[in-house]
């Protein structure tokens, strides 16, 4: 969301207005080896195709593609990519140490209108010889993407930035749902919700489909945008994703929405039956 070429407002001032440390914008990860980056690309594509694959199955699959990888290596790369097999398990995304865990509030709730429930998640986005992390905030009812931010690291600042952008541009939701990742369980993040009277909901242990709609969003983003590109740098990735999310919100017809667009449903122009 930072515009580096904006002459009227410097990058430093933009970071200050967004509450983003300037060091986070300029930060570049130390990077992985060429082989690891190649493996991460393969894992990303295979996981998007078969999200039931955890590190044991992914290790077997890679070995059958003639990559002599160890389970430990595959598990580390999948953690780095924020990937977990989708199946009931004892523990979902790990929260930060001493971070409060919140109950899941959507179990028997009928979501029937925009801004009743928002949800969020993080995914891995590959680029040339490196990678980025993408967080998005989406309206549960309409599938409308309210905000998104790219980051070179998993520090929590970029998730807070995405939340601030969403809250500035849209009415506050009644409930905000996320997983139990440390970026979302931190007080800095949950305080942004609580001070506005928003109820905090977090995916429960052993629940597979608590945040299914944003998981479907990532599948669309990967197949329809990311896997078709080879982003040269962060600016290129941001430009391409900005175009894609504009298309997703305004032009992509959703079968689950009776072939309306997310924007039409979010703004009340069309309501799914």
Tens of pLDDT, residue by residue over 42-76, are 999 999 999 889 999 999 999 999 999 999 999 99
Give me the pLDDT at residue 19, please.
Answer: 63
β-bridge mates for residue 125, sequence order: 132
Q: 3-class DSSP state for residue 245?
A: helix
Report the number of secondary-structure helices (H) and strands (E) in the chain.
11, 5
User: What percent of the chain lies above the pLDDT cut of 90?
Assistant: 64
* Residue for token pair 């809250």: 167
Crossing angle of helices 157-169 and 11-18, rounded to 10°: 80
Q: 3-class DSSP state for residue 223?
A: helix
Is residue 173 very low, low, confident or very high in pLDDT (cuts 50, 70, 90)?
very high
Lowest mean pLDDT among 17-21, 151-155, 247-251: 17-21
- Provide the token pair at 131: 């990678």
Helix (H) or strand (E) holding 73: helix 71-80
A 10 A CB-CB count for 19 gives: 12
Give me the pLDDT at residue 24, please.
Answer: 55
Q: Could you give phi then psi for residue 126, rounded to 5 degrees?
A: -80, 150
Query: With contact defined as beta carbons under 8 Å apart, do 137 and 241 qualify?
Result: no
Q: How far apart are CA 51 and CA 36, in angstroms?
A: 20
DSSP state letters, 162-216: HHHHHHHHSPPPSEEEE-S-HHHHSHHHHHHHHTTTPEEEEPPTT-SSTTHHHHH
pTM score:
0.79
Could you read off the pLDDT of 138-158 as tens digits, one per residue? 999 999 999 999 999 988 899
From residue 68, alpha-carbon distances to 22, 39, 52, 58, 198 in Å are 40, 11, 22, 12, 48
**Is 266 exposed, middle or buried, given 0-12, 13-18 or 19+ CB atoms closer than 10 A?**
buried
């Amino acid at each position: 969301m930072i515009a580096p070429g904006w002459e009227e407002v410097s990058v430093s001032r933009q970071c200050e207005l967004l509450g983003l440390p300037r060091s986070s914008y300029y930060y570049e990860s130390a990077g992985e080896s060429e082989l690891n980056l190649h493996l991460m690309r393969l894992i990303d594509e295979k996981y998007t195709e078969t999200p039931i694959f955890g590190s044991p199955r992914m290790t077997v699959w890679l070995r059958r593609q003639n990559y002599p990888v160890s389970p430990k290596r595959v598990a580390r790369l999948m953690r780095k990519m924020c990937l977990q097999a989708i199946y009931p398990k004892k523990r979902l995304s790990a929260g930060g140490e001493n971070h409060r865990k919140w109950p899941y509030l959507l179990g028997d709730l009928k979501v029937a209108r925009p801004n009743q429930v928002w949800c969020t998640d993080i995914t891995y986005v590959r680029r040339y010889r490196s990678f980025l992390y993408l967080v998005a905030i989406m309206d549960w009812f309409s599938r409308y993407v309210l905000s998104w931010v790219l980051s070179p690291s998993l520090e929590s600042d970029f998730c807070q930035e995405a939340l601030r952008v969403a809250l500035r541009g849209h009415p506050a939701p009644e409930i905000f749902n996320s997983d139990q990742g440390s970026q979302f369980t931190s007080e800095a993040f949950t305080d942004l919700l609580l001070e506005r009277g928003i109820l905090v909901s977090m995916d429960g242990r052993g629940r597979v489909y608590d945040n299914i709609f944003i998981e479907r969003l990532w599948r669309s983003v990967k197949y329809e945008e990311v896997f078709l590109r080879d982003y040269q740098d962060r600016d290129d990735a941001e430009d391409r994703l900005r175009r894609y999310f504009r298309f997703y919100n305004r032009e992509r017809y959703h079968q689950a929405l009776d072939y309306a667009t997310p924007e039409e449903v979010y703004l009340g122009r069309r309501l799914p039956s």
